Structure 1
């Protein structure tokens, strides 16, 4: 069974909440509920797993902590922003995957920077990686590399959801 003694959820505007004594399947429901309660619409939040033993299963047998974090972020995107597969169906040219790659590259450059690499942080606009059809205001990287990886994974999951939606449709 998975147990995390404490999970802290922090939003822009410095609101925060803490969930304690979390067990297995309760995590996703509890975190989603708290995120929706304390995060103003259009604002960002981050999750910190404190004293966690994340060896078990939250969503599916064998699902790792990383998969859980991506699933939580994807749920937040859908519920908080309305970015459903139906909405995402309009992105026909790989934009979701492109933006996901931008967040992943930024997280990688943050990690390198933290290790003393003097190379400037990745900039998707200078690199020409940002989709031309997307507003630059959607680029909102976090100072936390793990948060950027969660966004990257959720955007790639969104592209997979979009493809599945179009196949079923």
Structure 2
């Protein structure tokens, strides 16, 4: 297991244990909010957190899905790990929802998760 994957898995477990964001809690977010949050942290980490109009909401990404108090950006690598953990949570949520459908594939969440892993590993190689 790469360091990036281990860090994402550890962050996801922290979200469950410390924050209470359990799978049951995640299952209540049916409108893509978890993946939007992952994208916001990814965008922030890669310096693209601005809205399409070039502004933001007092430092909060334009498409942040929740109350401002939940926006807690950190260093780029930490934000990428957070984004990866959120993408993993969404991926798992979708898999639970469609567990009975053999033909379902969540390519968007899985592709996004892979993109985040690639970016973390790039930062790790650069020594960030």
Check whether TM > 0.5. Answer: yes
Identify unmatched segments of 5+ residues in structure 1: 1-62, 110-120
TM-score, structure 2 length as denominator?
0.66
Deviation at 1:166, TM superposition (A): 2.3
1:156-167 matches, within 5 Å, as 156-167=87-98
Deviation at 1:88, TM superposition (A): 0.4
The answer to whether the aligner puts 1:154 opposite 2:85 as a matched pair is yes
Deviation at 1:158, TM superposition (A): 0.7
The answer to whether the aligner puts 1:85 opposite 2:23 as a matched pair is yes
Candidates 114, 124, 129, aligned match of 2:63:
129
For residue 138 of structure 1, what is the aligned residue in structure 2? 70
* Pair member with larger Rg: 1
Between structures 1 and 2, the one with greater strand share: 1
The answer as to whether partners of 2:36 and 2:63 remain within 8 angstroms in 1 is yes
Q: Which has the higher contact order (CA 8 A, sep 6+)?
A: 2
Partners of 1:79 and 1:106 in 2: how far apart? 25
Between structures 1 and 2, the one with greater helix share: 2
Deviations 1:111-131 (A, max 9, x none): xxxxxxxxxx73468253112
Candidates 31, 35, 40, aligned match of 1:97:
35
User: RMSD of the alignment, in Å?
Assistant: 2.0
Identify unmatched segments of 5+ residues in structure 2: 101-128
